[in-house]
Chains A and B, each alone.
Chain A
């Protein structure tokens, strides 16, 4: 496998560093996903409110976050907060904030759509049984919503994991950054290392996202 330069992975602590980079990426995405799933449900519930002020504010938030490229958001959170507020956020903290804001907006919109797709009669039959608004949401509407959401949520989660490859732009040393460092360090002796290293990165991203898909399949089977 000389040609693809896999051997650079076994030099020194290179492979361990790559795995460390993967862990950084996963840590950022998992924390952000955790926040997004919970906040997104609340956000989605808010977005179905009839109050025009609430509607306008949530809409503004969603569109702002969705229209701006994640890279711009990262720069704003990392450099912008320092410049405007004098905050000194670490790259990782800024990344988690940006990913959580983004995930909450996207998740909120997914939840809104799913909530609105539940027939009005389901709310009514719950109400007719004497369930109050909270009980009806928790036991009747939300479980059905989550089942409908599952495929889109999995899509969002894997997108969030993969998009962590952007955080190297604000100095976070995650998997892709480590890969670049390894390739650069071996530029002269193993010029082909880019192939082997990036191929490994590809496989590692796949291994990170695949279990999420498997989990989704298992849940879908159980719920159908």
Chain B
């Protein structure tokens, strides 16, 4: 594993006086895939949103590649280019074709030429099996397809770090797989990723490290096999038990 890419120090975040993240520290190295799991409302998504400053923080600091993210709002567009984020609800731009959705940021933010951006967009679409949908509009695509496009739209900016915020939570079960396969593929390419998910089997397969979040803090962290098979804390055990069912029939 490479050098340190993301460092979060003593992060404190509250919503209207209610503490959501409490003295949370975390580092992520280049090429590392960390999966954040935990009960709903534990602050997983908020943590991701703080990392690219979609949420203001009330204390602590976040460094990306040594640069503090929340220090200067004018530098944000610059810093956010290094962080790709994929949302639960895809958030494609409905008035733009798939190709234009993907090429907007490289052309307007990075000032790349149309041909260059489109060529890369098509290559990336090919990779997620959607090259033939380039001219379509988001409403013509299924949820799983939209989410794959949203991933491509982030990838084309060549981010150093990718954030995935429950990207399969809004999908029908049979579409979950096609999106997770893309994420597994990215992990194989050695991308640095911070993933929030409720898909435990997937977390086990993709993660280098599992972070178990509860009550605004990291309660337990470890390699996936250790965490899933031998959780150390009682809270993690209780959480994992909610995913298994006792047989009720003989």
Residues of A within 8 A of B (CB): 119, 121-122, 124-132, 135, 139-140, 143-144, 147, 223
Contact = CB atoms under 8 A, between A and B. Distances in A.
Chain A CB within 10 Å — which of B81, B95, B154 has the most? B95
Interface in B145-168: 150, 153-154, 157
B83 interface: yes
Contact of B157 (A121, A130, A223): A130
A160 B167 CA distance: 47
B109 A128 contact: no
9 contacts: A127-B76, A129-B153, A130-B77, A130-B80, A130-B81, A131-B108, A135-B108, A135-B109, A140-B93
A3 B7 CA distance: 89
B119 interface: no
Given A124-B87, A125-B87, A223-B95, A130 B109 contact: yes
A129 B54 CA distance: 12
A176 B132 CA distance: 58
Contacts of A131: 77, 104-105, 108-109
B226 interface: no
Contacts of B89: 121
Contacts of A125: 85, 87, 91, 93, 150
B157 A129 contact: yes
Given A143-B95, A223-B95, A128 B77 contact: no
Given A144-B93, A144-B94, A223-B95, A129 B104 contact: yes
Given A128-B52, A128-B85, A129-B157, A121 B105 contact: no
A179 to B, nearest CB: 44
Interface in B19-46: none
B142 interface: no
B78 interface: yes
Interface string B94-112: 1100000000110011100
Interface in B28-72: 52, 54
Interface residues of B, number: 25
Contacts of B80: 127-130
Chain B CB within 10 Å — which of A122, A125, A140 has the most? A125
Chain A CB within 10 Å — which of B77, B87, B150, B154 has the most? B77
Interface string B167-194: 0000000000000000000000000000
Contact of B54 (A127, A130, A147): A127
Contacts of B94: 144
Give the top 6 A-B pairs by smallest Cβ distance, nearest first. Answer: A125-B91, A130-B81, A129-B105, A128-B85, A132-B77, A130-B109
Nearest to B53: A127
A143 B97 CA distance: 13
Given A129-B153, A130-B77, A130-B81, A124 B108 contact: no
Nearest to A122: B91
Contacts of B85: 125, 128
Given A122-B91, A129-B157, A130-B77, A139 B108 contact: yes
A130 B95 contact: no
Chain A CB within 10 Å — which of B83, B91, B110 has the most? B91
